[in-house]
Amino acid sequence: MIAEEAAEKPPLEVDLTEEDVETHCDKIFGKEAPIKFKCRPGNKIEETLQKLINKLNIRVPIVHVRAGIYLVGSSKVNLE
């Protein structure tokens, strides 16, 4: 019954600035990801991903699951 009630309610509308989001992420993740990305040597996709993580200061956990599949935060992503 609770799921049905939640489905009927409109989503919350929140006006957040980029700075608000950054501040919120700082509070949740601190200055680094809670799970550090482990780049496998010789894997070009992961080497590029590691460079982006460092350059953009990405603090969302990124974990290799299997061939071409990664968890980025709580989302499954195919990077083939």
Domain annotation covers residue 8 = no
Model pLDDT for residues 41-66, shown as the tens digit of each residue: 999 999 999 999 999 988 888 999 99
Q: Which two tokens stand for residue 40?
A: 């496998």
First vs last C-alpha separation in the chain: 40
| pLDDT greater at residue 22 or residue 8 | 22
Q: What percent of the chain has pLDDT over 70?
A: 81
Task: Give the whole-angstrom CA distance, residue 64 versus residue 40.
Answer: 10
> What is the domain extent for residue 70?
32-80
Identify the pLDDT of residue 9: 59
Task: Give the whole-angstrom CA distance, residue 51 versus residue 48.
Answer: 5
Q: Indicate whether this model's pTM tops 0.85.
A: no
Domain annotation covers residue 22 = no
Domain annotation covers residue 77 = yes
Amino acid at 76: K
Domain count of the fold of the chain = 1
